[in-house]
Structures are given as C-alpha cells and as structure tokens.
Amino acid sequence: MSKQSALDLATGLGGKIAKDDVISAVDKYEKYHGYYGGEEEERKANYGDMVNKYYDLVTSFYEYGWGESFHFAPRIKGESLKESIKRHEHFLALQLGLKPGQKVLDVGCGIGGPLREIAQFSLTSVTGVNNNEYQISRGKVLNRVAGVDQACDFVKADFMKMTFPDNHFDAVYAIEATCHAPDVVGCYKEIYRVLKPGQCFAAYEWCMTDSFDPNNQEHQKIKAEIELGNGLPDIRLTGQCLDAVKKAGFEVVWAKDLAADSHVPWYLPLDKSHFSLSSFRLTAVGRLITKNMVKALEYVGLAPKGSQRVQDFLEKAAEGLVEGAKKDIFTPMYFFVAQKPVSVDQ
C-alpha cells in the first residue's frame, strides 16, 4: 500500500535523513537555489547532494498527494487524473513497442509506480535505477505488495554513471527524471551505452519552451520557482534536449510537446481556481489542510522540524508550474523516441 495517511506522511518526512537533521538539510537545500541566491554552477557541481536532499525531504509529500507515480500527464475529457497517469505510462510502452520478456530500464524510477504499471501492462521485466535510497526502500515494499518483485528490481546508482554493462537493455525510458541531470548530453550518452543497438529510448522531459525569454524577469522568476520546488539544477529548452539526444548518438524517431494535445490542462490539479474531489489533496483547499496538518504534526513532534518549510517550497513549485504552463513557457511532457543505430560504427 502506498503511504497515504497523515501519520504515514509524518513518519516518512525527511526520508533517510535523521529527524534532527531535517531542518539543516532544508537550509542547505534552499541555499542551492537561485530563489535564495544560489548559483546554477553550484547546483550542477553538487547535483548528487542537492537532488538526494530534495527527494528525502519531499517523497512523503509526493506519496501523500500523488500516490505511487510522480509525474504529470496529458488528460482527455472525462478522464480522471489517475487514469491519465496510467495512460501516459501505457503510451510509453506502446511507443517503445515493448514485447513480453524484454529487459527494460526505467531511469530515475521514483518509488516505482510507472515501473510496476509498465511491467504488468507489457509483460516485461523492468529495472529501476535511482540514486535515492529512501525511494528504493519504498519501491521494494511496493513491488512485493504488487507481486512484481520477481520481474522487477531496483538498482541504487547515479544515472550519470550506471553500473550496467554496455548493450544490456531492450528498451530504456525516463519519466520526468533526466531533468535532474547536471549535463544532459552525458546522461543520454550513458543511456545510449546500456541500450542494445537498434533499440529505443523514450522520455518525458521537463523543458522551457521557445516562448521562454531569458531576459524577462517574470519568466526567470517562474523558472527559479520550478527549480527550487523540484530539485533541478537548471531547466533546458526543448531544442537543447533534442540536440543532446542527437549528440549522444541517437537517431530521433519523433518528438513533440504533448502538452499541446491535452484536452484538460495537465496543471489543472494544481491550479488554485480548480476543485476536484478525486484529487482533493492537490487542490488549494487540500493543500491548505495539509499545510495546517503538517504545522500541527511538527508542533507536537510527530513530524521533524523543517517539515513546514518543505511544504512551503512545494507550494512555490505548484505556483511556478501553473504560471509557467499558463504563460506557455514550460512543459513537463516534451516527448521523444530515439533509436540507437543498429551499427554503431555508421
């Protein structure tokens, strides 16, 4: 069962960070970010520490609000948020042409929501690579509960330098994860290395769109809020991602910002003007209730000191994401399928 009660939220807060150290971890995490005067180069140089602190601090909130899959999805009319999330995962399996028995890699797998869904949907074995120990411990429990612990596993590794041999996987995907990479060409090269020749890599990337103007102060503020609220060293343009795919050696099969096809805006669950009973915890009222609950839990000592500040930067993230989407300067679903050439000497 995913951890979704208030007590689960409180006990998981801080992940593998000792409870007494949560507040100093929050301090250090915030200081990495432009919003608090931090520099991009510093975030990139210390990406391991920055991203791991972020996921130790937020995973419990994510599980409480989103469930087991930590990503957005384009949504069609009449579809629930949960259904759209599953469809987004099935779409990846379809685009990769997954076949029963294949060995698949999920890069930056979170607690494994997509990995379990895709493995069961396509009858494949999926390995999740993740640098965050707390998320892997949660993922292992959830794999056992779902009965996929024979077919699927987790490997604790940095996706910039993975431990797998060359030409190992039949398919690789990444869902809203490689945006954490300090160097996207290096990250895609590593994915290229572990993928078998002739096989495909597909990803949903977080990107700034062509409408982003680096000289516009408001655009920069939104970008900084998204980076702070989501543990990102920088957010690349869609074109930079596509160039990186090619530089890594792949041939692009197709690429598109799927946000444009979403009948229901992907950011709607976070929009303050929206109300939904089925995703109540993500709404403005739901978030206010969570905020007060976390305050009370922190006050009575059930949640570590610093928990409210985590909730605060997550709130910043929600504001930045909604504003970025409304101004059409940001997307969390720039999608591409890329193939590793059959002959790598070509």
Ligand X SMILES: C[S@@+](CC[C@H](N)C(=O)[O-])C[C@H]1O[C@@H](n2cnc3c(N)ncnc32)[C@H](O)[C@@H]1O
Residues that bind ligand X (CB under 6 A): 51, 55, 69-71, 108-110, 113-114, 129-132, 135, 158-160, 175-177, 180
Closest listed residue to residue 207, CA positions, set 183, 174, 240: 240
Q: What is the DSSP letter of 165?
A: P
Least separation in angstroms between residue 131's CB and ligand X is 4
- Residue number, 139 or 304, with CB nearest to ligand X: 139
146-114-127 Cα angle (round to 5): 80
- Residue number, 181 or 297, with CB nearest to ligand X: 181
- Residue number, 174 or 297, with CB nearest to ligand X: 174
Q: How distant, in Å, are the alpha carbons of 113, 227, 270 from that of 205? A: 18, 14, 19
Least separation in angstroms between residue 137's CB and ligand X is 12
- Residue number, 194 or 297, with CB nearest to ligand X: 194
Residues 6+ apart with CB under 8 A from 62: 70, 110
17-105-81 Cα angle (round to 5): 70
Least separation in angstroms between residue 40's CB and ligand X is 16
CA–CA separation, 29 vs 43, rounded Å?
10
- Residue number, 203 or 268, with CB nearest to ligand X: 203
Least separation in angstroms between residue 109's CB and ligand X is 5
CA torsion angle 99 102 104 110 (round to 10): 80
- Residue number, 59 or 298, with CB nearest to ligand X: 59
- Residue number, 127 or 132, with CB nearest to ligand X: 132
CA–CA separation, 242 vs 238, rounded Å?
6
Least separation in angstroms between residue 182's CB and ligand X is 8
SS3 label, residue 337: strand
Least separation in angstroms between residue 17's CB and ligand X is 14
Tell me how many helices (H) and strands (E) the chain has: 12, 7
Residue 7 CB coordination number (10 Å): 11
Least separation in angstroms between residue 217's CB and ligand X is 27
- Residue number, 107 or 297, with CB nearest to ligand X: 107
Amino acid at 51: V
Tokens of 77: 């009319």
CA–CA separation, 281 vs 82, rounded Å?
13
Least separation in angstroms between residue 46's CB and ligand X is 12
